[in-house]
Structure 1
């Protein structure tokens, strides 16, 4: 039997509809080398484990792992520890990839030893056919140093860096923090235009606003852990804890006068007319202001709760 080349690590929590799309796409890979797909169920209550157990014949590359709910960092570490492949690709369970995904990452990683490969991310609200989203002819890449939506790396470097820090117990920053340690090992990020991830987000609606703001609070709280581990100007820019960001988002929201209450009529009007993506981008401006202001107001109190 040939040595396993790839282990695709897919943590999931209550995302069965889009997870099925994710796994179907991973079964269509053009690569001829052996690969496995490790789904780590993080305590789902939506029937994910039962479905994958009874429909295993649909996904011959699948290896199912389960754990009690412990968040994405622990789930990814479980996948890393269990992986049989030389390389690991991280694919979130709301991601659908193109057929050339693993082959493209393989070719990129062959360019050196101390490198990792970062692919393209296309956002979509199309649950039925996420990979039908138009792909821009000119590749656009994020400045994110280590985004697990579409990233591939040799397993040895994840082990050398110490894997994900499970101290990040809420939403946000655990992948970027690992990226800082990967960077300290001297690895270089290479872009991989041929590996495309279609990232599904449910269309914005007014009822999602409280949940979105709760996630921003979680991200603000995890920013404290991130900065505690890496107290640098680079991290301050990442988490937006600077006077520049406070001023920028303050100006764009008129000092917070444009907020979840005052924007609601406009956002409702846009959603009613099928412009939910525009509504989301407008609300995102307030979300940035909300996060930055939350950090400035709660940083010391939360830091003491977390570390004192």
Structure 2
């Protein structure tokens, strides 16, 4: 039987519904906040309102990609999920971000044996996530289980620490059947990531490569998709980088090339100004519902058929995030 592991429990994989495959509702701390305070999103009520806006627009499931050491807050996310129980599903991740978020000398990712780290990740999937997200010597497991694995790589480089995290991710995948969802820095190193995962016994077809729209090279995408991996386009509503139409036209080209079963979509709001509920005191902003209310219409406008959109939003996430139990 195939299931989706949400933080409130397992559901049949065909109940996943419309899915935002890469996003953020709560980030309580972490290195990114030192770079920009807009990364701090730590209010439960705002997160509930944001998720409800997404649900009201037709969304059903949100994959929240905050990993260990980067502001993941299990307790607050459980509050958000419980507030929306019966209306929407939330998945959370175990694993790591790119290497510069962890000390290469003293972090437990750096100092602990690969298999022991993998055991910690596996426990978060099969037993329950640690309330403290492994930030110290005390482990207190919650009932909420992680539903996928995260790893990350640097710009044009997979550091030694990141290679270790990829090995951990592949081992964890072999033991649990969970998908691996990758942070790629500006869409680089995708082919090398797949190579590392395969080398360590992981599955390309259960590997999601995120942020690929930051490297808008459709012929590169074709190479990546030929490995069997999944590409996540997760950055509409960021015109300072590229217009929505450019992403949509690239997706259309890939669909026409026969790759519609290997694409998923997300918003990756990531920062306070991308979540309308967090911005209410300052004014009116677009929230994560933009994926459905604004970006999907652009996909249709450029010629992407509804059947392909359904694959990218419903059936592809159901297949890649499903776990065999």
Both proteins in one fold, TM over 0.5 = no
Query: TM-score interval w.r.t. the shorter chain?
Result: under 0.3
TM-score calculated relative to the size of structure 2: 0.26
Structure showing greater Rg: 1
The higher-RCO structure (CA 8 Å, 6+ apart) is 2
TM-score calculated relative to the size of structure 1: 0.27
